[in-house]
Amino acid sequence: MGDTGLNKRSLSYLLLTVFLICCLVNCSPRPGDITIEHIDNPEVLSRGRHLVRGLAACGICHATEASPDAVLTGGRQMEDSYGKVVAPNLTPARSGLYGWKAVDIVNVLRLSKKPGGERILSDAHIGYEWLSDNDAYAIAAYLRSLPPIEKYNPRRSVSFFKRNTRGLFKTKREVKGYVPDLNPHNTAAYGAYLVDHVARCGYCHNTPGDLFNDEVYLGGGKTISFNGKSRVAPAITPSEIDGIGAWSKEELVAFLRTGLTPDNKRVDPQFCPVHFFAQASREELNAIAEYLKNTDK
């Protein structure tokens, strides 16, 4: 009887110890995590600037011209699954992100949810949900550091029915917990991360799905519209027939830097953000090229 009581007490102590350890692990900062007090340090801001002006290419939508040097005051007209929309102001002005905390910006990127709970269409943010915590908060820190420039852009009105029925059968985006950084030296995984979650190439280059057909990864065929102009995105699969399989890795990196294809055709930078890609590091572009040449998704 005494041994049974002792065993129960021992088990209780063991469970309590495990519980406390779990609490400590979950409440402690993770290695490399950006804490609130460090979010605006120069290193974080530099990383955010590198992403916004580079592979994340925020200005391709949120600037009046598709240039890394353009101010992010919005105003560019696009089309999404609801129709025409004007990109909003991303500077911390009253007509933009005034009063937003870093976590508010991250929630818009990942959850398409504004500080007051209002939801925005997630089409243009697909892929951002799996940005690493450090990259997401670096982008937020940089946007908060921009000079506020007032520019009020028109907002559209979407009916309750449309807002709650479009995309009914799409998988909902949900990220729970911490998203770690990927090691750039793991070229394949890092290339996939940059393609799918930073540059988000699939937003333009995936073949749209419908009720009867699945979306085709990087299969091309989607019509992209900006400021009244339209282009059909090509396939960028490793296929030598209708993709980029015939391109060498060096040719692909050169294209990302210059917008010039191996057969000397220049892509329209208003649609493909090559001016932004040119700001990326050689390591990043090599990882993207390596991944695109070998992906079998």
Domains of the chain: 37-171 (1.10.760), 182-296 (1.10.760)
Higher local confidence (pLDDT), 14 or 259: 259
CB 125 within 8 A of CB 109: yes
Provide the CA 185 distance to its chain's centre, in angstroms: 21
CA dist., res. 46 & res. 75, Å (int)? 26
**Res. 122 pLDDT band, cuts 50 70 90:** confident
pLDDT recorded at residue 211:
83
CB 235 within 8 A of CB 222: no
Q: How wide is the angle at C-alpha 95 spanned by C-alphas 198 and 144, nearest 5°?
A: 45
The pair of three-digit structure tokens given for residue 52, joined into one six-digit string: 């916004």
Q: List the strands of the sheet with 83-86, edge to edge.
A: 83-86, 77-80, 223-226, 229-232
CA dist., res. 281 & res. 53, Å (int)? 12
Q: What's the whole-number average pLDDT of the chain?
A: 84
Q: Which of 159-173, 214-228, 257-271 has the lowest mean pLDDT?
A: 159-173
What count of other Cβ atoms lies within 10 Å of the Cβ of residue 41?
Answer: 11
Instruction: Decide if pLDDT at 180 tops 70.
Output: yes
pLDDT recorded at residue 15:
44
Give the containing element (helix H, strand E) for 96: none
CA dist., res. 63 & res. 54, Å (int)? 14
**Res. 25 pLDDT band, cuts 50 70 90:** very low
Q: Which of 36-50, 187-201, 251-265 has the lowest mean pLDDT?
A: 36-50
Q: Which of 125-139, 165-179, 210-224 has the lowest mean pLDDT?
A: 165-179
CA dist., res. 82 & res. 218, Å (int)? 22
Instruction: Decide if pLDDT at 220 tops 90.
Output: yes
What is the arithmetic mean of pLDDT over 108-122? 86
**Res. 22 pLDDT band, cuts 50 70 90:** very low
Higher local confidence (pLDDT), 68 or 227: 68
- Answering whether pTM is above 0.85, one says no
Q: Which amino acid is at 120?
A: I
pLDDT recorded at residue 19:
42
The pair of three-digit structure tokens given for residue 179, joined into one six-digit string: 């998203």
